[in-house]
Structure 1
């Protein structure tokens, strides 16, 4: 990959690592482009079962790179819009990636970094990590990341932390649902992440991708006749698929699952 990002593939699991520890893994234009391109490529790999998004150093991601922010200080409205659009597309590339993404949060998460965590499907964090939506401190707002943060953190908590820009703990992030699992050490963090990736990889590959899309498509939708019909069609599709038929037959015959 590059100096800013590394990619390691082990079996059916890929690990994407932010590698700018001296800059607290902050974003700049190059990092945003690399993340978007990497997740777009990984999402088109049918053999991939899970992706771990990790970071080197003490911080997971501190948001925007200060040097990048300096370069944007004199931008026009149109330039600011185009720049923000690139961040929006990167976040969408991760959120919309058909492969489940696990965030391995080993340190502090600030501003756009909270957005990066929010687009992941599963979040595991060390107990010492802190979170902060710090944009308002600078006279800004977390607009581009807001669709994902509000979904992950919840509307009421977002009302508070968007306007106060307070730091909150990993324990609080866990209580609010942004973080799924807490770990008391980096070793425990890695063990939990590996266990989750292994659990995903043991399931039907097509079923896992369909499950991820199901949640995104059904969440917050009114339970209308059209939605009920759509969910019935989805289960019929997968029951009739080669993977679905093989899985049911393996279960009934108590034989090994073909994808393991």
Structure 2
């Protein structure tokens, strides 16, 4: 059914939603975005599912955007770019509003959209070797469509520490920033996730869904207008000379003009 992700549901109703492109460090393609959106809808309406664990196969959680997908965006017209950006935004919204607890198990690297996915988890746990970063500005673009979820998770003040510097940060700093609940040794990540999952198996599923919806409604507004605004912001940035230079330099394996 799925080619870029996998889903396994155990006898307790714990679903593991795994990004499953380990050879690509689980970089996001258009197909992966579509499959994740579909999976969020299916898991959210499955009465046998009590909790969802989001993780990545192999060495990385998610290395950001797939290179081939990025090349396609470079060659595309502005409206096509906007539609593709919208796919990422709507995938994150589907995970963010899924009426099931979403526990993130984050290892290896989580860049760009990978940070966005960690941000929509109700609880995200990180392995101690984890590296994260919002690296879009290095390419002359911005973390636009993931922005509402990152800001909702970190708060504006903490987000400003990393939102537009492009620098990488480690797992302990991710805890300080509010992205991760805690850090554990890589070998202990599965046990730590299980400790987060277990309490939900004693709760009323409908009450959990209602409480999650209430919490989301009391937080920063992320609605269709917000999503459209971020898509437009990214569309505008794609049209700049900086974006052409930064993305071109990335694919040419050279320094962009502004790098010293």
> Same fold per TM (> 0.5)?
yes
**Aligned pairs, number:** 220
Match of residue 149 from structure 1: 150
Q: In structure 2, how many angstroms separate the alpha carbons of the residues matched to 1:169 and 1:156?
A: 18
Structure 1 distance, partners of 2:103, 2:3, is 22
Pick closer, same or farther for the CA change 1:219–1:3 going to 2, 3 Å.
Answer: closer
**1:179 positional shift:** 0.2
Aligned residue for 1:120, secondary structure, equals coil
Say yes or no: does 1:95 pair with 2:83: no
Match of 2:214 in 1: 214
1:14 and 1:127 map into 2 onto residues whose CA distance is: 24
Matched, 1:38 2:42: no
Shift of 1:220: 5.7
Residue 205 of structure 1: aligned partner: 205
Query: How many Å apart are 1:69 and its aligned residue?
Result: 0.5
Quick check: 1:135 aligned with 2:136? yes
Indicate the structure whose relative CO is greater, using CA pairs within 8 Å and at least 6 residues apart: 2
| Aligned: 1:180 with 2:165 | no
SS of 2:125's partner is: strand
1:47 Cα deviation from its structure 2 partner: 2.6
Tell me if structure 2 keeps the 8 A contact 1:127–1:170. yes
Q: Does 1:9 align with 2:12?
A: no
Distance 1:57 1:220, change over 3 A: closer
**TM-score normalised per structure 2:** 0.82
Q: Which residue of 2 aligns with 1:69?
A: 70
Tell me the secondary structure at the aligned position of residue 65 of structure 2.
coil
Q: d(CA) in 1 for partners of 2:39 and 2:118?
A: 16
Tell me the CA shift for residue 200 of structure 1.
Answer: 1.1
Aligned-residue offset at 1:209: 1.1
1:25/1:220 Cα in 2 relative to 1: closer, same or farther (>3 Å)?
closer
The runs of 5 or more residues in structure 2 that have no matched partner are 222-260
Bigger radius of gyration, 1 or 2? 1
